[in-house]
Structures are given as C-alpha cells and as structure tokens.
Amino acid sequence: MRAPDLRRGVGAFVAVLLAAVVVTAGVGVVSDAVGSNGATQPDAPAYDTGDLLPTPVDDGGSVPAPDAGTQKTVVVDAAHGNTVGRADMQPLVNALVESGHEVRFYTGGGSSSLISGSGTSALNETLNDADAFVIADPAAAYSGAEADAVSAFADNGGRVLLLGDTPTTATSASSLLGLTGETTAGSGQPNAVAARHGLAFNADYLYDMTENANNFQYVYGSPSADGGLAAGVDRTVFDAAVAVAHGDAATAAISAENVSRESTRTTGTYAVAVRSGNVAAIGDTWFLSPDGATVADNEALVGNVADFLVSGTKTGTIGGSSGSTVRPGGISLDGANAAGGSTNASNATNATSATA
C-alpha cells in the first residue's frame, strides 16, 4: 500500500475510534441522569443527623422536704422479699429524715407473722408503733391476716403507700457441672392489700412509641386532679409503669395519656397514681430512685408522697397491743441519727441504727 493510502486508512480508523468513545461517554452521562431503568433519580438532600439527637428532659430539680411538725414514724416493709430497698428510695428517705421524721425498715424478725410473747404478730406490733407503712414490690404475697392488719391500720388513720412494678419471675442458672450459679429474685405486687381498698395493679407495663422521654417505656404522666399527690406537678416521667385500676371510691391523681398496654396493645388513658382514703397506690418505683426523683416534675411527686405519709392522724391499735413496742428486725433512720445523734432504735433488740 502506498504511503498516502496508508495515512488515509489510519486516519479513518482513528476517526471511527474517537466517534465510538464520544458515543459511549454520552450514553454514560444519560444513564447517570435517568438511572439504569430509565427513571429520573431524585435529588435527595443529605439527612441531618442532628435530628437523631434525643430531646433533653429537665433533670435539675430537688425533692422538697415535707412540713416539719409532730415527728412521725414511717415504716418500710422489707420482710417480704421486697426488690425495692433503701437505696432505691433514698430521696424519699432523705426528705423525711431532714424534716425530723423517723424511717424504719421492717425485716420481720424472721417472719412477719411470727407470734410474739404478747400474743400479737410482729407485723401488728410494728404497725402499732407506726404512723405510715410503705409496701414496694413484695416477692412474697401478703397473707390474708397480714392484708387485714394493714387494712385495719389504714382504717385507724395510718397512711399506707403501695408501690408496684411489672411483676417478674425468679430465675436460676448454673454451669454444666453445677459449680457456679446465678439467681435472680422475682418481684410481685401488693395486690392482696390493694384489693381491700378497691385497687389493683395491672401486670403489664405501659408504653408510648410517639411521645416519650427518649425511650418508649419512659412514659409521661399528667395530673388527673388538683392538689394532693398531684400538687405542683405538670408532667412526671415513669419507667415501665403499670396501670392502677380503681373503683369509684378512689381518685386518680396522675395518669398517663395516649399510652398502650404491653399485653393488649390497647391505647388509652391509664391511672398510675391513685388515692383511696388513707391508701395511695402508684404503679412505679423508679420515680423514687436517685436517677428518677429529679426528672421532669418527679421531685414534686416525691415531695407529695412524703407529705402524704406524715399528714395522717392514727387512732387505735392492731391486735389489742398498745403503747410503744419493740420492732423485731427494725432499722431506724431518724432525724437525730442523721445529724449524728442517738437513734430511737438503740434500745430495741434486733435493731440496727444507720444514717440517712
């Protein structure tokens, strides 16, 4: 082939090659614009990760102490395998002690129904020397006689606070050879006592998937009535609260609105804090804890609970006993002891003093 013909052939080949490259590039641009299936791709803006940040819930409150007056004795049940102890309600204990009231933890002296030398039960003796009685998450159910005693205590003017969470079942696990093991205590609800006053704790928790305190089990509560347990409360926060069913004789103080029950998925408004005369029932214990007591308006609720416990006027006794009695297994936390002084339990057998 002559040189001019060779040059013309090479030039034609290069031209065809360039044309193919240009066409291919053009197809790629069109493909990127319309997508592989021919549909136009949306121009989606980048998602703002700041929207994922939780909305902060106020946690700057402090629990008010109840009005100081005549010193009252508040007894907390610790004789029924209760899963809520002193550390779990320390803000309430501190508020009571700071006002000069006495807090005792009743351990039952081995059995809350133990018959003493006077012919009355240890529980009756404890109630006779108390102005208020607190029952929280008892793993062991109250017997009929015990429930009757607490009910009679309330009828005589004593204040009773019932606290209940979702009940759990005790579990136990061990290694293959049985050399190591782990046991988790179960918890219950004080329904045997609550039933005497037309109250009942539901067994399932409440939740809210839309409006919550940054977790669907942290539900908001709002006042259902003025004053009392709801005084000064605009919004509380409860953790996996249970609803408290009640009759016409009781009044709902704080309710959770537009929440659902875990067992039925039924949405509605459910009472969480209820009062029936000298008995108050609240379907949560977390709000009393150091972590929960200052969230939202929980500190106002804790203060109202303290006021409720020390504002009653008790008359009469249980089981025929009268006067001051020795409380088996009691732990005293009174105002003098908190300030470094002596405790009223120092002369009681099987009693241990402690500071608040």
Rounded CA separation 181/142 (Å) = 29
| pLDDT the model gives residue 66 | 87
Give the pLDDT band of residue 45 (cuts 50, 70, 90): low
- Integer CA distances (angstroms), 218 to 129, 198, 209, 280, 305, in order: 37, 27, 10, 22, 20
- Kindly tell me if the per-residue pLDDT of 46 is higher than 70: no
Task: Check residue 232 and give its pLDDT.
Answer: 95
Q: How far apart are CA 135 and CA 76, in angstroms?
A: 6
pLDDT digits (tens, 9 = 90+) for 198-248: 999 999 999 999 999 999 999 999 999 999 999 999 999 999 999 999 999
What is the DSSP pairing of strand 267-276 with strand 251-261?
Answer: antiparallel
Query: Which pLDDT score is estimated for 48?
Result: 58
Asked if residue 65 lies in contact with residue 306, where contact means CB atoms within 8 angstroms, the answer is: yes
Q: Write out the two tokens for 166.
A: 């979702």
Is 151 a residue whose pLDDT tops 50?
yes
Is a pLDDT exceeding 50 seen at residue 59? yes
Out of 3.90.1200, 2.30.30, 3.40.50, 1.10.20, which CATH number does the structure's domain 73-167+187-197+278-352 have? 3.40.50
**What is the average pLDDT across 261-290?**
97
pLDDT tens for 292-320 read: 999 999 999 999 999 999 999 999 888 64
Span 251-276, mean pLDDT?
Answer: 97
Asked if 21 and 14 count as a contact pair (C-beta separation under 8 A), the reply is no
The closest alpha carbon to 159, from 133, 136, 177, 183, belongs to 133
Whole-Å CA distances, 291 to 88, 186, 296:
9, 22, 12
Domain boundaries, the chain: 73-167+187-197+278-352
- Residue tagged 């009743």 (tokens): 106
114 exposed, middle or buried (CB, 10 Å; 0-12, 13-18, 19+)? middle
**pTM for the whole thing?**
0.74
Q: Which DSSP letter does residue 230 get?
A: G
pLDDT at site 321? 43
Q: How far apart are CA 99 and CA 109, in angstroms?
A: 28
For residues 278-289, average pLDDT? 98
| Residues 95-124: tens digit of each pLDDT | 999 999 999 999 986 433 333 444 348 899
In the 8-state DSSP scheme, what is residue 87? G
Is residue 323 within 8 A of residue 120, CB to CB? The reply is: no
Cα–Cα distance, 333 to 91 (Å, whole number): 13
What is the average per-residue pLDDT within 75-99?
A: 95
Average pLDDT along the chain: 78
Can you give the pLDDT at residue 212?
Answer: 95
Q: Measuring CA to CA, which residue among 170, 147, 156 is closest to residue 77?
A: 147
* Structural contact between residues 293 and 63, judged by C-beta atoms closer than 8 angstroms: yes
Cβ-contact 331, 107 below 8 angstroms:
yes
The pair phi, psi for residue 60, each rounded to 5°, is -120, 20
User: Which residue carries 């614009």 as its tokens?
Assistant: 33
Checking if the pLDDT of 4 tops 80, the result is no
Higher pLDDT, residue 174 or 62: 62
Q: Which pLDDT tens digit goes with each residue over 318-341?
A: 864 443 333 333 445 544 443 333
The CA distances from residue 306 to 98, 309, 352, in Å, are 11, 5, 23
255 closest CA partner among 267, 239, 271: 271
